[in-house]
Chains A and B, each alone.
Chain A
Amino acid sequence: MSTSVSPAGTAPAVRDRDDRVRTRSFTSRLLSRPEIGSLIGALAVFVLFAAVAPTFRQASSLATVAYAGSTIGIMAVAVALLMIGGEFDLSAGVVVTTTALTAATFAYQLRLNLWVGVVVSLLVALAVGAFNGWLLMRTGLPSFLITLGTFFMLQGINLGVTKLLTGGVSSSAVSDMDGWDSARAVFASTISIGGVGVRITVFWWILFVAVATWTLLRTRVGNWIFAVGGDSASARAVGVPVKRTKIGLFMTVGFCGWFVGMHQLFSFDSIQSGGGVGQEFIYIIAAVVGGCLLTGGYGSAVGSAIGALIFGMTSLGIVYAGWDANWFKLFLGVMLLLATIVNLVVKNHAAKR
């Protein structure tokens, strides 16, 4: 602790080190990691449900929890990168539905292999992201407003186009079409590990988080992401391509939205056109619980994964514990507040040492 006052004013001789600064301890460095608050939270939630719900402790339940975490986490990692880059994307929830609808409808209407639909929907997802980013850089409006606009636009397109083509509120069933089996294997299969079925999204999720972490901490682009979120004017002044970085981040959100969309399509066969609304907040909350600052420039990809895992544990833990599932939202709100407060306290405490 910094209770001992350093002997100020003694012997102002020339020396290498400033006598007012001391090296920081390992624990204070560890505590200054962005994901530490969420890690404590995740452990607390795990212990709670492991204690009250015996089923929660089974391996198959944990696999289900990991699956629930993965569908949120794949998006949350992209949203976290975007938030570190200083921006929001409110269209992140509906873009998932848009990509799934695009893939199904495109392939179905033109009687093509489903993989064509998959590729087309990827292009659509990247285009939505690029549009968000381009408009943001072009106008300088807050990303909150711009993506709120695209959120409503996509929602309208989802419902309108589906109604126009199918006359209903869901896309046509595509499970008998060419390419279903191979696409399902990639996006929605189950892999058995020691007798426990683990959904493939869990492995994709781990891969995406690993790639995102490596990119953030060990590549030039990662440096740029922190810089544009922390202070974009400074970043621009030292030659960081702010525009490209931010547009790239929005396109990453588009890419992950496409991935989750494909997962939904190939696990459920047909897609409800009104889906995805409200999910964007879940992604943002997972990122914030994981230590991302709302103001940008700070956060981690691993944190977003822990945030998503807390969601998975809570939503299923309540069921396993036999509680009324309606309490989930209350729990969510409490979790969010606690995690952000813990993050704040821990960060301030560590920064002072």
Chain B
Amino acid sequence: MSTDTHQRTGGPGHSPNTEILRLTDVGKSYGNVHALRGVSLSVKQGEITCVLGDNGAGKSTLIKVVAGLHQHTEGTVEVNGEAVRFTSPRESLERGIATVYQDLALVPLMSIWRNFFLGSELRTGFGPFKHLDVKRMMEITDEELTKMGISVPDLERPVGALSGGQRQCIAIARAIYFGAKVLILDEPTAALGVKQSGVVLKYVAKARDAGLGVIFITHNPHHAYLVGNHFVILNRGHVSLDKPRQEITLDELTNEMAGGAELEALSHELSVPGETPENAAGLTTARTTGR
């Protein structure tokens, strides 16, 4: 694989805002269960589309369809205007869609450089003596990680010995290096502390600046609002909100995300008689003032 040529094909100046990925009325059912219904989504180059939603809202199913782990049962998925139906993650990767999963990003017992090139190993030699080009792979890994500002003791170290944030960053660096056009991040900040989340968000922004289209899946509206250009909220398999950044504030996003009306009802239910339900009051005012 000639990795040097096809990394970063779309730089910051390369026709921004071109639509790369488009989902139209996509649905997915597992037997009787409709995990996704009529979801439409558009991902543009150099933009971050945030997909938010509660547990069971259909976020994971959505990524799995785009990543090629599952196939959609309704609607169309288009990459660069061409309708596709992925049957394996490999097909999705070949179309330039790279997915960084929250839990299945890297193999913990394998070394850093082996993980970096897993599935796309560089080789030299020919015939039966074709073997891994260890030296070059280590050089490239070192270079890419340094570029990202990740410091590791040595590249032979198993990935399992690194922190969660470092692991996410390595997975993101890998996806960018291998010429991804669309980067799907599945809750990259979910298990991380404040500082580490910040580091990961910086890389997300870097990926955007490199001209990638990013789908950022999270249930933290604060993280989403820091980097997002476009927000989509999923609720029970439906799209319940779909707005560009200009049309929404963080408060509105937080409130919508928290379930809005549902939360209000809940706060009444939980409130102790004679006391003002503070949380809900705060949220409601935020909501009304925001509108």
Chain A positions near chain B (C-beta within 8 angstroms): 16-18, 21-24, 29, 214, 218-220, 222-223, 226-227, 230-231, 233-240, 293, 297-298, 351
Contact = CB atoms under 8 A, between A and B. Distances in A.
A22 B67 CA distance: 37
Nearest to A22: B153
Contacts of B106: 231, 234
A218 B134 contact: yes
B118 A21 contact: no
Contact of B89 (A16, A230, A236): A236
Contacts of B119: 227, 235, 238-240
Contact of A298 (B67, B109, B153): B109
Contacts of A234: 101, 104-107
A141 B153 CA distance: 39
Nearest to A18: B151
A293 B108 CA distance: 14
Contacts of A220: 121, 123, 132
A17 B117 CA distance: 23
B108 A223 contact: no
Given A218-B132, A231-B107, A234-B106, A223 B89 contact: no
Contact of B153 (A23, A237, A239): A23
Contacts of A233: 104
Contact of A231 (B69, B104, B132): B104
Given A219-B132, A223-B118, A351-B161, A239 B104 contact: no
A240 B108 contact: no
B181 interface: no
B107 A235 contact: yes
8 contacts: A16-B151, A218-B132, A223-B114, A223-B132, A226-B109, A235-B119, A237-B104, A297-B107
B18 to A, nearest CB: 25
A135 B108 CA distance: 27
A114 B290 CA distance: 87
Interface string B94-108: 000001010011111
Given A24-B153, A218-B132, A223-B114, A237 B107 contact: no
B275 to A, nearest CB: 43
Nearest to B150: A18
Contacts of B161: 351
Q: Sorted from nearest, which 6 A-B pairs have the closest CB atoms?
A: A239-B119, A238-B119, A230-B107, A18-B151, A234-B104, A297-B109
Given A219-B131, A226-B109, A227-B118, A238 B154 contact: no
B139 interface: no
Interface in B97-147: 99, 101, 104-110, 114, 117-121, 123, 130-132, 134, 146
B158 A351 contact: yes
B153 A226 contact: no
A233 B154 CA distance: 26
Contacts of A240: 118-119
Contact of B93 (A17, A231, A239, A293): A239
Contacts of B67: 237
A214 B106 CA distance: 23
A241 to B, nearest CB: 8
Contacts of B120: 238-239
Nearest to A215: B131
- Which of B67, B93, B118, B132 gathers the greatest number of chain A CB atoms within 10 Å? B118
B90 interface: yes
A16 B118 CA distance: 26
Contacts of A226: 107, 109-110, 114
Contacts of B121: 220, 223
A230 B134 CA distance: 20
Nearest to B120: A239
A236 B120 CA distance: 12
Contact of B90 (A24, A29, A239): A239
A234 B104 CA distance: 5
B241 interface: no
Nearest to B107: A230
Contacts of B108: 230-231, 297
B168 to A, nearest CB: 13
A132 to B, nearest CB: 23
Nearest to B89: A237
A17 B132 contact: no
B152 interface: yes
A238 B89 contact: yes
A53 B37 CA distance: 77
Nearest to B134: A218
Contacts of B114: 223, 226
A234 B101 CA distance: 9
Contacts of B158: 351
Nearest to B98: A238
Contacts of B151: 16-18, 21
Nearest to A352: B161
A238 B178 CA distance: 11
Interface string B13-44: 00000000000000000000000000000000
B123 A227 contact: no
Nearest to B100: A237
B101 A237 contact: yes
B89 A227 contact: no
Nearest to B99: A237
A236 B87 CA distance: 12
B118 A235 contact: yes
A17 B152 CA distance: 8
A29 B111 CA distance: 13
B74 to A, nearest CB: 24
Contacts of A214: 131
